[in-house]
Amino acid sequence: MPPSETKASAERSFELERIVFFSDAVYAIALTLLAIELRVPELAQEDTAGLYRALLAEWPRFLAFALSFWIIALFWIAHHRYFRYIKRYDYRLITLNFLILFFIALIPFTSSVLGEYGDSAGGIWLYAVNMLLLGLSDAWLWRHAATRHHLVDAALAPDLIRALELRTLTTPLAALVVLTLSFLIGGLASFGWFSILIFRRVLERRDSTNF
Amino acid sequence: MPPSETKASAERSFELERIVFFSDAVYAIALTLLAIELRVPELAQEDTAGLYRALLAEWPRFLAFALSFWIIALFWIAHHRYFRYIKRYDYRLITLNFLILFFIALIPFTSSVLGEYGDSAGGIWLYAVNMLLLGLSDAWLWRHAATRHHLVDAALAPDLIRALELRTLTTPLAALVVLTLSFLIGGLASFGWFSILIFRRVLERRDSTNF
Amino acid sequence: MPPSETKASAERSFELERIVFFSDAVYAIALTLLAIELRVPELAQEDTAGLYRALLAEWPRFLAFALSFWIIALFWIAHHRYFRYIKRYDYRLITLNFLILFFIALIPFTSSVLGEYGDSAGGIWLYAVNMLLLGLSDAWLWRHAATRHHLVDAALAPDLIRALELRTLTTPLAALVVLTLSFLIGGLASFGWFSILIFRRVLERRDSTNF
Amino acid sequence: MPPSETKASAERSFELERIVFFSDAVYAIALTLLAIELRVPELAQEDTAGLYRALLAEWPRFLAFALSFWIIALFWIAHHRYFRYIKRYDYRLITLNFLILFFIALIPFTSSVLGEYGDSAGGIWLYAVNMLLLGLSDAWLWRHAATRHHLVDAALAPDLIRALELRTLTTPLAALVVLTLSFLIGGLASFGWFSILIFRRVLERRDSTNF
């Protein structure tokens, strides 16, 4: 039994807070670095019309930026939710958390590949696989923490645990939708990401813990 | 009623703190990334005079950097002010907060477009629209939190709430000033941002909550 | 005796927390900046096969990214462990902590040199030396903090202190392994980093504080 | 009297903590972005000797990186010291703090100008002026906070306040030394920064608050 367990208490331990704030920093940096991919157009001569034409020509990059921003936001919200209930930590929790952060840190790269090559299946797949693995890491972390109330509050309702477990599958499911669509509609498959919103809506119907 | 409400208390909950610190990280990163746009001049041969000439030639980028730095600072101060009074959170607050962060994360991009094309209406508009939407998101968040004391301290004085509500409009107003000026004086319109200081001064006259 | 010592107490002082969170920010930024080195391939014409060929051709950069990510993670975990027990700080602790952060901040650079020139001994050495000095700084900080319980809890078990002291040597040892291997097997020497896992496993056998 | 004053108390208010952590994030990001300036050399053919020659040719950039890292570290330590004693905040403190952060955010830029043009007076001056203004902002903030114990603990010893006031002048002084030297010894003037260490040593002799 790791010594950390002995620190479990109503108000959360400093060590656990530190893990959480460290993760937040990684989420925040990944979120903000996304915008670096947006390039300032280089124009032969400066005129408003030309600038707008150049900016509009960048729409795939903007789309990739906006999509990735909101997906990272959803993952942060999930992370925020898990750690509301996690009261203890062990070495494996930290490792699984770093696994999540690994795929978060990759998003600025896979997102810019999507922005560049989003109309070919290749760019879509790389991005979707990144999200798939990220979502599965999330699921793994929650399963590790919640199973038999290993690291969560003993009083946590089993059906809330199941509800959160179910939620962890929304992004992987959406990733599969996108991967499938990419065979049928190619570049348009990226719009499959909106299925996340549908999945979430359905789940929110199912359970009352709408946050 | 979200479970979070049950956490409302004099000293703010860890979850609320986490939302705030996460936002701070995004503000801080956006703030510091602004400087990345400042380019080290490349000189044929190294001489002080030439270096200074090259640096002076960058003045529009410096102006854009300084302007954006202080505008982000004002938005951070506003955010700081709101969350002094916000004692609870719900799912919508988090979403609106991410909407704010979305437009904050865009600033390094729109700011460098301004630095590059600030003398054409195009660059000015993109930047002003970014600030307009950012300011409206701020207003939306505060309205959501403060209306009928939904998420703020029940004891919070209604006229203080109105005062802060009024403040949320300073940047959108300034953005409109800049947009209007851009038709009249083109590139010089950027100086319209100083109207923020005027609006704030006026509002500080009106109410005593000067912070 | 620095005034800070007077602040020692069960719940850690705000000043100490600030040192820790500041360090976390540096770790988190270094971790996320690693991915900036991953370049979006530029293709003559867009086709999935070509994109994958181009991405696969980047494998040394991916390897360097993944390796550095997990090494930084291990160093963060070590830092996390030390500061679980450090209850006071003095000027030297802060200086040694900055020495650690100095070598952390260098990793994105040495890591991209490794990604670029990992098949020549040169790239491997630069990276290994970075890790060697980082590991020694870690050891120095812990020795300063723990010797005669200078800054740690007086009740901290001496054999736990020794166990952590021993752990600080895993990365320097691995660095030496890699440096040696580089003479024998050249570019493949980078796989010597996996020896960290072996060393850690051995140490975890030795002592029970597996976190 | 700002409402914040009413929050003054032994354990510092959440709002004040937030100002401090926000500043830390900016310091940490500036610190880590410095390394971005270190460029991976591009070699015609890969050989260790060539790589080392290329890396050695970068020594001015390494010097600028190391110098700026430690100067930022010193400024962070000073900031850490001030806020150990600052117990309240007002609008002006926040503004002065942002003034400090403004010059901190500029360092990655002026530092890379120094790395590029450190052998011409131009690069040295830009950097020295940045540090001069940063140091003066520090002095201004501390003077505002400490004069007549405006924002610091009423029990804070006047000679400690004076001692810290004196310390705020070390970097501006060093900047003046460097500026003067630049006329006499050109590029070597950068070594004048080491005078900081001398000034600090002298001051530490003078007062006992060695942290």
ipTM score of the complex? 0.88
Q: Between B29, B31, B40, which is nearest D113 by CB?
A: B40
Per-residue pLDDT of A81-123, as tens digits, reads 999 899 899 989 999 999 999 999 999 999 999 998 888 888 8
Q: Distance between CA B125 and CA B179 in Å, rounded?
A: 6
Predicted local distance difference test score (pLDDT) of residue B4: 40
Main-chain dihedrals φ then ψ at residue C32, nearest 5 degrees: -80, -30
CB contact (8 A) between residue C109 and residue D40: yes
CB contact (8 A) between residue A48 and residue B120: yes
Q: Distance between CA D162 and CA D168 in Å, rounded?
A: 10
CB contact (8 A) between residue B77 and residue D90: no
Q: Distance between CA D104 and CA B54 in Å, rounded?
A: 22
Q: Chain A contacts of B22, Cβ < 8 Å?
A: 24, 27-28, 76
Main-chain dihedrals φ then ψ at residue D87, nearest 5 degrees: -115, -15
Is 90 exceeded by the pLDDT of residue D178?
yes
Which residue in the block uniquely carries the two structure tokens 């879509």?
A124
Per-residue pLDDT of A18-27, as tens digits, reads 999 999 999 9
Q: Distance between CA C75 and CA C138 in Å, rounded?
A: 8
Average pLDDT over residues D4-20: 62
Residue A150, Cβ density class (10 Å: 0-12 exposed, 13-18 middle, ≥19 buried): middle
Six token digits for residue D125: 């001056």
Predicted local distance difference test score (pLDDT) of residue B202: 82
Q: Which of A164-178, B6-20, C129-143 has the lowest mean pLDDT?
A: B6-20
Average pLDDT over residues B153-158: 88
CA-based nearest residue to A12, from A152, A161, A164: A152
Q: Between C33, C40, C210, which is nearest A112 by CB?
A: C40
CB contact (8 A) between residue D35 and residue C105: yes
Is residue C153 within 8 A of residue C85, CB to CB? The reply is: yes
Provide the angle, in degrees to the nearest 10, between the axes of the packed helices B59-85 and B91-117.
170
Beta-carbon pairs below 8 A across chains C and D: 87
- If you ran DSSP here, which 8-state letter would residue D193 be given? G
Q: Distance between CA A151 and CA A142 in Å, rounded?
A: 10
CA-based nearest residue to C18, from D163, D16, D151, A9: D16
Q: Chain C contacts of D58, Cβ < 8 Å?
A: none
Q: Which helix (H) or strand (E) holds C128?
A: helix C121-146
Predicted local distance difference test score (pLDDT) of residue C196: 87
Six token digits for residue D59: 């020594």
pLDDT bracket for residue D37 (50, 70, 90): confident
The mean of the pLDDT values for chain C is 86
Six token digits for residue C153: 């809890």
Q: Distance between CA B122 and CA B182 in Å, rounded?
A: 9
Predicted local distance difference test score (pLDDT) of residue B134: 96
Q: Distance between CA B103 and CA B96 in Å, rounded?
A: 11
- If you ran DSSP here, which 8-state letter would residue C152 be given? B
Q: Chain A contacts of C49, Cβ < 8 Å?
A: 122
CB contact (8 A) between residue B29 and residue D25: yes
Average pLDDT over residues C173-184: 91
CB contact (8 A) between residue B48 and residue D106: no
pLDDT bracket for residue A208 (50, 70, 90): low
Main-chain dihedrals φ then ψ at residue B181, nearest 5 degrees: -55, -35
Instruction: Using DSSP, state whether D134 is helix, strand or coil.
Output: helix
Query: With helix as H, strand as E and coil as C, how does chain A read?
Result: CCHHHHHCCCCCCHHHHHHHHHHHHHHHHHHHHHHHHCCCCCCCCCCHHHHHHHHHCCHHHHHHHHHHHHHHHHHHHHHHHHHHHECCCCHHHHHHHHHHHHHHHHHHHHHHHHHHHCCCHHHHHHHHHHHHHHHHHHHHHHHHHHHHHCCECCCCCHHHHHHHHHHCCHHHHHHHHHHHHHHHHHHHHHHHHHHHHHHHHHHHHHCCCCC
Six token digits for residue A69: 């921003």
> Chain B residues within 8 A (CB-CB) of chain A?
2-4, 14-15, 18-19, 21-22, 25-26, 29-30, 33, 36, 90-91, 94, 98, 101-102, 105-106, 108-109, 112-113, 116-117, 119-123, 125-126
Q: Distance between CA D172 and CA D174 in Å, rounded?
A: 5
Average pLDDT over residues B167-191: 88
Q: Distance between CA D35 and CA C197 in Å, rounded?
A: 28
Average pLDDT over residues D161-183: 90
pLDDT bracket for residue A12 (50, 70, 90): low
Please list, in sequence order, all residues whose beta carbon lies within 8 angstroms of the beta carbon of residue B34, skipping any fewer than 6 positions away. Answer: B65, B68, B69, B72, B107, B108, B111, D105
Q: Distance between CA A39 and CA B115 in Å, rounded?
A: 13
Per-residue pLDDT of B47-61, as tens digits, reads 788 888 888 888 999
Six token digits for residue B46: 């190294």
- The proportion of chain C whose per-residue pLDDT surpasses 70, expressed as a percent, equals 91
Q: Distance between CA B57 and CA B64 in Å, rounded?
A: 13
CA-based nearest residue to A167, from A195, A139, A146: A139
Exposed e or buried b per residue across C85-102, where buried means at least 16 C-beta atoms within 10 angstroms of its C-beta: bbbbbbebbbebbbbbbb
CB contact (8 A) between residue D47 and residue C120: yes
Q: Distance between CA D201 and CA D211 in Å, rounded?
A: 12
| Structure-model confidence comparison of residues A6 and C163, the more confident one | C163
Residue A126, Cβ density class (10 Å: 0-12 exposed, 13-18 middle, ≥19 buried): buried
Q: Report the DSSP beta bridge partners of residue C86.
A: C152
List the helix and strand counts (H, then E) for chain D.
Answer: 8, 0
Six token digits for residue C175: 């660095």
pLDDT bracket for residue B12 (50, 70, 90): low
Predicted local distance difference test score (pLDDT) of residue C37: 82
Q: Which of A181-195, C100-114, C190-204, D147-161 has the highest mean pLDDT?
A: C100-114
Q: Distance between CA D70 and CA D78 in Å, rounded?
A: 12
What one-letter code names the amino acid at A12? R
Predicted local distance difference test score (pLDDT) of residue B206: 67
Per-residue pLDDT of A127-181, as tens digits, reads 999 999 999 999 999 999 999 999 998 889 998 899 888 888 889 999 999 999 9
- The proportion of chain B whose per-residue pLDDT surpasses 90, expressed as a percent, equals 48
Please list, in sequence order, all residues whose beta carbon lies within 8 angstroms of the beta carbon of residue D47, skipping any fewer than 6 positions away. Answer: C120, C122
Q: Which of A79-83, A118-122, C153-157, C203-207 has the lowest mean pLDDT?
A: C203-207
The mean of the pLDDT values for chain B is 86
Please list, in sequence order, all residues whose beta carbon lies within 8 angstroms of the beta carbon of residue B162, skipping any fewer than 6 positions away. Answer: none
Predicted local distance difference test score (pLDDT) of residue A202: 83
Q: Which of B163-172, C26-35, C150-159 has the highest mean pLDDT?
A: C26-35
CB contact (8 A) between residue A105 and residue C24: no
Query: With helix as H, strand as E and coil as C, how does chain B read?
Result: CCHHHHHCCCCCCHHHHHHHHHHHHHHHHHHHHHHHHCCCCCCCCCCHHHHHHHHHCCHHHHHHHHHHHHHHHHHHHHHHHHHHHECCCCHHHHHHHHHHHHHHHHHHHHHHHHHHHCCCHHHHHHHHHHHHHHHHHHHHHHHHHHHHHCCECCCCCHHHHHHHHHHCCHHHHHHHHHHHHHHHHHHHHHHHHHHHHHHHHHHHHHCCCCC
Q: Distance between CA A60 and CA A117 in Å, rounded?
A: 9
Predicted local distance difference test score (pLDDT) of residue D206: 67
Main-chain dihedrals φ then ψ at residue A119, nearest 5 degrees: -90, -10
> Chain B residues within 8 A (CB-CB) of chain D?
11-12, 17, 20-21, 24-25, 27-29, 31-36, 38, 40, 43, 46-49, 51-52, 55, 66, 69-70, 73, 76-77, 80, 83-84, 209-211
Q: Report the DSSP beta bridge partners of residue D152.
A: D86
Q: Distance between CA D140 and CA D143 in Å, rounded?
A: 5
Predicted local distance difference test score (pLDDT) of residue C12: 54
CA distance to B11, C14, C19, D22, D89, per residue, from D15 (Å)? 11, 14, 18, 11, 9
Is 90 exceeded by the pLDDT of residue C178?
yes
| Structure-model confidence comparison of residues D3 and D114, the more confident one | D114
Q: Distance between CA C73 and CA A148 in Å, rounded?
A: 28
Please list, in sequence order, all residues whose beta carbon lies within 8 angstroms of the beta carbon of residue B8, skipping any fewer than 6 positions away. Answer: B87, B88
Six token digits for residue B201: 């001064």
Six token digits for residue A105: 């840190």
Q: Distance between CA D186 and CA D178 in Å, rounded?
A: 10
